[in-house]
Structure 1
């Protein structure tokens, strides 16, 4: 029986080659993208775990350490500074360092140590109270190139007694001294927000991947059904047929998974250079754990096998009905889709700490995955409407073929529709992100130090005197604090440097040496917040090409697959006298009309979802540019599919050798 199965598989010409190649290619692409996404999620988790100790939790018992922190800057790069003072004779070791810094002792990351050696002392080194005593272990760093310092202080040091306002996002970067009795394991809001965004990216990217997986599993499904039906009519048992099909699909999908895993290993060093949150990655962060890689591989193989075998069940149950084409596909949304959507939204609401990302995630899951669930139903009703209102043979043929097999039509146009949803979501989100990022780019020639409102006059006088003594031309003024601080308690000391290119870092060093380093040196240009916005923009531009390429490939391959699956019908129509131009026109309508309908719905849903990230004018250049590119992509996809289908349709509708 195995020999007959292989002969039938090899004897199918172009269809057989596609049937073999696409599960391999789809498995490779899906595996590669999923491993990259899982690596990103795992890397962010590792970053959060390594940096959680920097955000202190107030002591519940006897305090052992006084901990504070602030952000400093060198050029456009931030320096995270954690200050520690022992409150007992035996303070706990700093995690992964096996020691505790003495007063005046400074530990720095390798990147900061190198930078301190390279730059003049009045640019950087003089900001610290003593000499560098040790380099910080990589297990404490967020990224290999992070600029990070741990400074030992005495409990009565002014830096450890002055009150500092808490930052609205990053508690560890702008922190009043806190007495603690243990190292925290709770990451700050920045870290958790990045993890939530990574999960949102995974859901967005999974949408077109699901479409590609469905296309791979069901490509030439009709041919596979006929092969299965042939074996059943020749006497093969259900168990034999199921076993042969499962082995075939497991081998093909397994080969694709191995290829994708190999590609991931090749691309991993390149992926570590992608800058997220201002830093690159340790390679171990982006390499998923072995058990997770195996689980992904097994899940991909299982999904492709189940998807393909589910299409064989009619041939196993009723082999004669397979040849009679007596069964139409289901069109109603499946109940498990609704269960999945509800479960995903509930779990994200339980784990997320950022309400804006949570709302965006909910919209993406409900609208994006909802579109996956109702897409075939929409195409089925479109086909029925088109057949009823047709005024030409090609319109009637297109309508009947869409309503007869809406699932294969959805697999052809669904990838592009989902690309439209993602593009609409990103287009609206880009406008909000670009606008906010532009706002943070203002004030790059100014240093802001937050001080108490009662001491603002004294601080301004001391800062002006210190800057003049150091030969740094600058203007010092008192301004209102950021809106998230109470103006009755706080004020901003604004220092505008005449020559920022030459003197900005010297001015920062003077302010730090004068005790005016403050909890946040440049609130008007808060780089971590700007990174969050810019990283979102970069991620958006990375998602769209993936979705676009998958959508384009799905339309071309899906259109060819529909022709191959309907070869007997097309050949019968040709023998009955239907002109070739009518068949081509019907095929073209099968692509254009569902693409226009579903694409329009998907883009509108994506735009609505993207506005949850912030208020935005949808007529801005960024949004219009993305939508124009999407329209061009749709036109190119339809044209490419039409060009690819023509020779295939001409062959299968006229060549009797193609009849099975």
Structure 2
């Protein structure tokens, strides 16, 4: 075995300048795949970490002896949400919640760092007067969803009006959206449950990861087959001089794993360097802690092991011809055409799509999307082979004839060049179609503050609201409308709608109804923030997909030239102008790109139909248009960037004895 490894290492080092360039291209491809794979894995772990840090604010009713009472509601300042948690201990020595050094005593408040800074910077009548003047301490990071989150934890007495307020119709301990008011709940600890909003973000993160990870796995597998023609020729020669199939497989795996491991390490370093940029992405109301952007030692080690194994497996899969027919490889015989059964797999997956819908679990959707990705990757080479036959038969110019013959001869290599953009087309077709339009929810009322009031306290609350607003110098009309669950809605229609006046009015009305704050229609989290985050996620996923697509196109274009350098040299020796070869390369890329890119977009749109809220909106149409334009420009640019390499390998057209 040591002899085989030594021979593999010598062949890898002795491949010459162009052999080294091929190894570098493979390592770069693996590095890009590894970095983005770490990003996708980290995103899911980060959403889970956020859900865990937020869970203590969604209390679970005590089944045994209760140790504390917890109530939660959401307030607002400068149109930003403030999570206010009120706690009352039922027995001495109660353990504090996460992020606090001790349990808060009645009459004191603990601020998150961002809220503490805000209470100092804003006038007291806009924020600070809503909270006690006694500061207990600072809420730690382990209790915050994101670094800039506004959180206040107030200590209360168990018999205070706020801790004995009636429920608003929601059972204590029930799963609630982030930001919804939670009535006082007796608890036995701060374990809590994930909020509905946290579960939504986790599901969206899982689907987004599939949209990124599957193309990355395809790209990583394709990286193992870069410069495959050169390697197959070398291995076929070894088979013809007596190497056994097992020795050939061992050498192939060893070579692929050595290169891939180096690329995986490089990709991990690149990901580590990009962490400051990743933490700046705003999702769910804020940025990320550095700990969220680092997946941990075990996930990193798992990726460092999995990526080289995937590359080695992909390299072995392509060895069948070398092992079974080394003479055919050495003679450069055209491999047999692929069978149309590949199309059946894609059609079978698409037949399942109409059965999906909004109520289907995120795991099922992720599996179907992943299978659709893999089916497109399976069908791609077969379609390109068909395109090659049609192109060759209808060719009227030498460049088009050369392109058609190349597509027929090696459709897999042609697919590797355009697969990145085709996969990006699928992603764009899917999430571009689902991108919510900015006017989907209409324009929220921005002048009326609403306050939920128990029906038995309407008269008292109405008089108190008028008195408080008048004392603050705020002109507003007071009205009481219908509600639900034994409550009414008190509405204060402000005559002025500047931010300062709204915050002063919120402060004036604070505490009027224990456990409830005055809100605007525009304060709804799921109706505003979530739609904005879907747009941010769409841009992030497409940016990652484009990075993969353009890197894939550029690397495979250069690798293709190295694979065919002897063919290009012989064509130049026969008198073929260099411009004809370049036009053939462009046609060999753009023809399948047009067909497969358009087909992938159509499949993505079809997969999105069961989840569409309405017909295609302007945002989705613009997203698709930009995707198509950038995809074509990226592939054309990648092909143009490799033109000097073609000129270099054909500079001396004399046949090489390799």
1:383 to 384, 388, 407: 388
Write the distance in 2 (CA, Å) between the matches of 1:544 and 1:291. 28
1:245 to 242, 245, 252: 252
Task: Report whether the alignment pairs 1:197 with 2:200.
Answer: no
Range that drifts further, 136-145 or 285-294: 136-145
Q: Is the 8 A contact 1:452 1:489 kept in 2?
A: yes
Q: Is the 8 A contact 1:418 1:602 kept in 2?
A: yes
Superimposed CA distance per residue, residues 195-236 of structure 1 (whole angstroms, 9 cap, x where no aligned partner): 222222221122432343233211110101111222333444
Superimposed CA distance per residue, residues 434-463 of structure 1 (whole angstroms, 9 cap, x where no aligned partner): 334x74x63344422223456545533321
1:639 to 628, 636, 641: 636
Q: Quote how far apart the aligned CAs of 1:417 are.
A: 0.8
When the two structures are superposed, what TM-score results if normalisation uses the length of structure 2?
0.86
2:438 is matched with which residue? Answer: 434
Q: Cα gap change, 1:512/1:327 in structure 2, threshold over 3 Å: closer, same or farther?
A: same
Q: Quote how far apart the aligned CAs of 1:290 are.
A: 0.6
Q: Cα gap change, 1:445/1:401 in structure 2, threshold over 3 Å: closer, same or farther?
A: same
**After superposition, where does 1:329-368 map in structure 2 within 5 Å?**
331=338, 355=360, 361=366, 364-368=369-373
| 1:60 match: secondary structure | coil
Write the distance in 1 (CA, Å) between the matches of 2:657 and 2:425. 37
1:177 to 172, 184, 190: 184
1:550 to 548, 551, 559: 548
2:409 to 379, 404, 414: 404
1:267 to 254, 269, 274: 274
Q: Is the 8 A contact 1:332 1:374 kept in 2?
A: no
1:451 is matched with which residue? Answer: 453
| 1:59 match: secondary structure | coil
Range that drifts further, 585-594 or 532-541: 585-594
Task: Report whether the alignment pairs 1:224 with 2:231.
Answer: yes
Write the distance in 2 (CA, Å) between the matches of 1:534 and 1:354. 22
Instruction: Please provide the CA RMSD for this pair.
Output: 3.7
1:531 is matched with which residue? Answer: 529
Q: Quote how far apart the aligned CAs of 1:496 are.
A: 2.4
When the two structures are superposed, what TM-score results if normalisation uses the length of structure 1?
0.86
2:85 is matched with which residue? Answer: 82
Q: Cα gap change, 1:65/1:638 in structure 2, threshold over 3 Å: closer, same or farther?
A: closer
Q: Is the 8 A contact 1:69 1:519 kept in 2?
A: no
Q: Quote how far apart the aligned CAs of 1:467 are.
A: 0.3
Q: Quote how far apart the aligned CAs of 1:111 are.
A: 2.4
Q: Cα gap change, 1:53/1:72 in structure 2, threshold over 3 Å: closer, same or farther?
A: same
1:103 to 106, 118, 134: 106
Write the distance in 1 (CA, Å) between the matches of 2:300 and 2:405. 44
1:507 is matched with which residue? Answer: 505
Q: Cα gap change, 1:641/1:270 in structure 2, threshold over 3 Å: closer, same or farther?
A: closer
Write the distance in 2 (CA, Å) between the matches of 1:413 and 1:101. 60
Superimposed CA distance per residue, residues 370-424 of structure 1 (whole angstroms, 9 cap, x where no aligned partner): 3223222222333344455656665555444323322211111111111112222
Q: Is the 8 A contact 1:329 1:406 kept in 2?
A: no
Write the distance in 2 (CA, Å) between the matches of 1:381 and 1:270. 43
| 1:657 match: secondary structure | coil
| 1:513 match: secondary structure | coil
| 2:124 match: secondary structure | coil
The answer for unaligned runs of 5 or more in structure 1 is none
Q: Is the 8 A contact 2:522 2:528 kept in 1?
A: no
Task: Report whether the alignment pairs 1:41 with 2:48.
Answer: no
Q: Is the 8 A contact 2:178 2:198 kept in 1?
A: no
Q: Quote how far apart the aligned CAs of 1:510 are.
A: 0.9
Q: Cα gap change, 1:459/1:606 in structure 2, threshold over 3 Å: closer, same or farther?
A: farther
Q: Is the 8 A contact 2:461 2:512 kept in 1?
A: no
Q: Quote how far apart the aligned CAs of 1:508 are.
A: 0.9
**After superposition, where does 1:619-658 map in structure 2 within 5 Å?**
620=618, 622-644=619-641, 655-658=653-656
Q: Is the 8 A contact 2:220 2:311 kept in 1?
A: yes
Superimposed CA distance per residue, residues 60-87 of structure 1 (whole angstroms, 9 cap, x where no aligned partner): 3344433221101121221101122334
| 1:82 match: secondary structure | strand
Write the distance in 2 (CA, Å) between the matches of 1:163 and 1:571. 82
Write the distance in 1 (CA, Å) between the matches of 2:230 and 2:613. 50
| 1:66 match: secondary structure | strand
Q: Cα gap change, 1:514/1:120 in structure 2, threshold over 3 Å: closer, same or farther?
A: same
Q: Quote how far apart the aligned CAs of 1:650 are.
A: 6.2
2:167 is matched with which residue? Answer: 163
1:415 to 416, 420, 424: 420
2:72 is matched with which residue? Answer: 69
Write the distance in 2 (CA, Å) between the matches of 1:238 and 1:356. 46
Q: Is the 8 A contact 1:174 1:520 kept in 2?
A: no
2:429 is matched with which residue? Answer: 424
Q: Is the 8 A contact 2:40 2:213 kept in 1?
A: no
Write the distance in 2 (CA, Å) between the matches of 1:451 and 1:552. 57
